[in-house]
Amino acid sequence: MPDILTLPRPSAPSISANGERYAITAENLNVYYGAFQAVRDINLKIERQKITALIGPSGCGKSTVLRSFNRMNDLIPVARTEGRVMFHGKNIYDADVDPVEVRRRVGMVFQKPNPFPKSIYENVAWGARINGYRGDLDALVEQSLRQAALWDEVKDKLHQSGYSLSGGQQQRLCIARAIAVQPEIILMDEPASALDPIATLRIEELMRELRKEYTIIVVTHNMQQAARVSDYTAFFTVDEHRTGYLAEYGPTTELFTNPRQKITEDYITGRFG
């Protein structure tokens, strides 16, 4: 496993690495869709190499906040972002930051498994290739698939279509694909919501494994999942304008056993949402 750390990471001139405690922080983040404000005044410091869960009722802006961490909101024409997202001491929304570079270092796994209509091998190799990876591609593919706990299931059919896999396998393939470009942070938007309980458990196991090397931010609707897998939990809710805000944030055990806010308690005990 340690050899994955020795794989060269392309140097990033405009964002320099240092030994900070936080992997990424949102500061006074506001996101609008046209005239509608989706989230307001989000201040969130994500701990390095921990799993942070974002929970909250549907429509409270969890996905919106998650996407603002790697500028995926840029792809939504009506979306507008205010505030700052600091990554290695640099605001990723600054004019001189290239979103392409941000996304390479802050990877993403989506709610619905979305492998490319290519072979399993190509699914994993493509991201590395377009990002200029010059090492041993076969080795990288194998490592990524191993890390995603998929290698044993697919090693004999690397050249079959990614669509020949089951839903849970497809999602792990998407995780392997994200890992292959060696990001520092992996964003996951309800990665297990389309999967059965067994596949869900495998993904959770995998996340715990990945935490050793990556910072993970995961959106989930599943309270047990958040409690089981995450180190920190951020609870979002909506105000009277249906604008989302961060209601409570803290270590998961604290938030679940001893919530400071009434609304958090109502939500996690199932009396709300």
Partner 1 sequence: MRDRVSQVPGYPDEKQFQGFIRRRRRRGAMWRTLFLIATSVGIVVLSALLLNILDDSFGYVAVKNEIEPAALLATYAPKRLPMERGGADYQILRELSRDVQVQILRDHLSQGLIRRLESEQPLDQRSQEELGDLIIERVVEPHFLASWSLFDSVFHRARIKAEVAEMDGASLRFYSWLNPKFVVSPQSSHPEFAGIRTAILGSLWVVAITILFSLPVGVAAAIYLEEYGQKGRLNDLIETNINNLAGVPSIIYGLLGLAIFVRALQPLTGGSLFGIGDATTNNGRTIISAGLTLGLLILPIIIINAREAIRAVPQGIRQASYGLGATRWQTVWHHVLPNAMPGILTGSILAISRAFGETAPLVVIGASAFIIRDPDGPFSKFTTMTIQIYQWTARPQAEFRHLAAAGIIVLLALLLGLNATAIWLRNRYQRSY
Return the residue of 32, 40, 63, 184 that touches ligand ATP, per CB under 6 A. 63
Binding mask 192-231 for ligand ATP (x = CB under 6 A): ----------------------------------------
Nearer to partner 1, 181 or 246 (CB): 181
Q: Pick from ligand ATP, Mg ion, partner 1, none: which does 60 bind, CB < 5 to 8 A by kind?
A: ligand ATP
Q: How far is the CB of 62 from ligand ATP (least distance, A)?
A: 4
106-109 and 215-219 as β-strands: parallel, antiparallel, unpaired? unpaired
- CA 255 vs. chain centroid, Å, equals 21
The token pair at 55 is 């929970």
Nearer to ligand ATP, 38 or 192 (CB): 38
Q: Which residues contact 60 (CB under 8 A, 6 or more apart)?
A: 39, 236, 237, 238, 244
Across the strands, what pairs with 33? 36, 79
Q: How far is CA 273 from CA 39, 101, 185, 235, in A?
A: 17, 37, 29, 12
Q: Is 63 a residue that touches Mg ion (CB under 5 A)?
A: yes
Binding mask 18-57 for ligand ATP (x = CB under 6 A): ---------------x----x-------------------
